[in-house]
Amino acid sequence: MVNYYIYIVECNDGSLYTGYARDVEARVEKHNLGTGAKYTRNRRPVKLKYQETFESKSDAMKREIQIKKLSRLEKLILIKGGKS
């Protein structure tokens, strides 16, 4: 079964970026090579801080949207193991 993921990386400037991927490690590597998202291109290196696994692409993308709407503080709480 193929899994789908959402992830949060911390950029070099301390900002947080949320994304979707089928292979999180490969995606983080792309971000660090400068070939990932435009947002992370000038904020390298990035460090993986959080990820969630889903069985469907639809569920993963819905969760990505939910997380992107969270405040920075709410994302930090999520990363530390809280609920958001």
Flag whether 51 is in a domain.
Answer: yes
Give the range of the structural domain holding residue 63, as residue numbers without chain letter: 4-79
Binned at pLDDT 50, 70 and 90, residue 84 comes out as: low
Flag whether 84 is in a domain.
Answer: no
CATH code where residue 72 lies: 3.40.1440.10
pLDDT tens for each residue of 45-81: 999 999 999 999 999 999 999 999 999 999 999 999 9
| Domain count across the chain | 1
Per the rule left: phi > 0, alpha: psi between -120 and 50, beta: everything else, 81 is left
pLDDT tens for each residue of 2-42: 799 999 999 999 999 999 999 999 999 999 999 999 999 99
Binned at pLDDT 50, 70 and 90, residue 83 comes out as: low
Strand partners, 17: 9
Distance CA 53, CA 50 (A): 11
Place of tokens 């930090």: 76
Give pLDDT, residue 1. 73
- Residue 30 is classified by DSSP as H
pTM score, whole prediction: 0.93
